[in-house]
Structure 1
Amino acid sequence: MKKLIVAAVMALGVFNASAQNKIGYISTDELIGVMPEAEKADNELKAYQTELAQNGQDLMKDLSNRDSLFVRDSAKLSASMKEIKRKELITLYQRVQNWQNEAQEMYNQEAQKKIAPIRLKAMDAIKVVAKENGYAYVLDVNSVIVAPPGDDLLKLVMKKLNIKEPVAAPGAAPRN
């Protein structure tokens, strides 16, 4: 009987302790989307993507030009020179074939480099707001199925980062 009472008291204590832990949530994607740094990074990434696409087009144009020259001049070339030019064309063709994957990898690395400090700033602000408002846990909204609107920390974190709340599009549902 004594063990049962001790267990009940301990369970009650654990229940009371866990009842005091506030749980909040936030959409980190939405937060990062309204940060001025994200808009700048997005513009820089678009410019970088355009540059990569232009490099790919230049590579294709170079291959096309060299191929045309080879076809035009092949009758005048010696067998050894034809073989050298053919190998050059094959190498350039392989570069063109690999360019798409290389460009995608380069873009992903650049995006990671630009987004990482923005994400870190957002996470730091979320931690500060959670601590200031007594939240023991903050979940990303993408993993929360049901939550009361009062525990959404987006507006508090935006305020902490001095970001004005974006104006909702006409007919859009208001954010809580």
Structure 2
Amino acid sequence: MKKLSVLFAAIVMFVSVGMAKAQKIATLDLVSILNAMPEKKKADTDLKAFLDVKEAEIKKKTDAMQAKYKLYTEEAPKKTEAENKSRGDEMQKLQAEAQQMSERAQKDLAEKEKVAYAPIEKKVMEAVGKVAKANSYDYVMDVNSTGLIYKGGPDATAAVKKELNLQ
């Protein structure tokens, strides 16, 4: 019985080593591919412009709020307690509006990124799939991934860039 289990373990080890050697693994630098794509550059530019507009709106709102706060602070000793309380409530409301505006901008940016990058990601994944099939790669790993332990196999970056007509 013991000999049988040792024999079985040896067979499993032999088969798994044989299977591991039969697999072709390639690596690619996904970041360099994306950075070379004109579609990605345009999407980045559009998203940056959108973000700049939203940041300007938020800054305008916070600047107005700070100016009002400064005025209210200077006038506070001359106002009644009821007026100061009303002004304090107004400032809290303005601060909440600014916070909501910032959160909305972040959500809008995330949605725009998703929409802008989806076709780019699809195009790259299709090109990677074509290159992998053409070169019989079983796995293609991104060199920028933290899961990459060893990089000794062929590099598919050039082939994917060629497939996408990039330099």
TM-score, normalised via structure 2 length: 0.73
Aligned residues: 163
Identity among equivalent positions (%) equals: 26
Segments of structure 1 that go 5 or more residues without pairing to the other structure are 165-176
RMSD over equivalenced CA pairs, Å: 3.7
Task: Return the offset for 1:52.
Answer: 1.1
String of CA shifts for 1:6-39, please: whole Å, max 9, x gaps.
Answer: 9877765654444232111112222111111110
**Most deviating of 37-46 and 108-117:** 108-117
Alignment partner, residue 115 of structure 2: 113
Out of 24, 29, 37, the position equivalent to 2:26 is 24
Secondary structure of residue in 1 paired with 2:166: coil
Secondary structure in structure 1 of the residue aligned to 2:138? strand
Cα deviation per residue 1:92-125 (whole Å; 9 max; x = unaligned)?
A: 1222244444433432332233222212211111
Write the letter of the residue equivalent to 1:33.
N
Q: Give the corresponding residue for 1:162.
A: 165
What is the distance in 2 between the residues matched to 1:71 and 1:17? 75
* Mapping for residues 80-159 of structure 1, pairs under 5 Å: 87-142=89-144, 143-148=147-152, 151-159=154-162
Q: Report the Cα distance in structure 2 between the residues aligned to 1:8 and 1:69, rounded to whole angstroms.
A: 83
CA gap 1:82/1:18 in 2 versus in 1, 3 angstroms? closer
> Structure 1 CA distance, aligned partners of 2:5 and 2:74?
97
Q: Secondary structure at the match of 2:126?
A: helix
Alpha-carbon deviations, 1:115-154, whole Å to 9, x = none? 2221221111111100011101111113323322x61100
Quick one: which amino acid aligns to residue 163 of structure 1? L
Residue by residue over 1:53-111, the C-alpha shift from the partner in whole angstroms, topping out at 9 and shown as x without a partner, is 1111121233245557767999xx99988876654432112222444444334323322
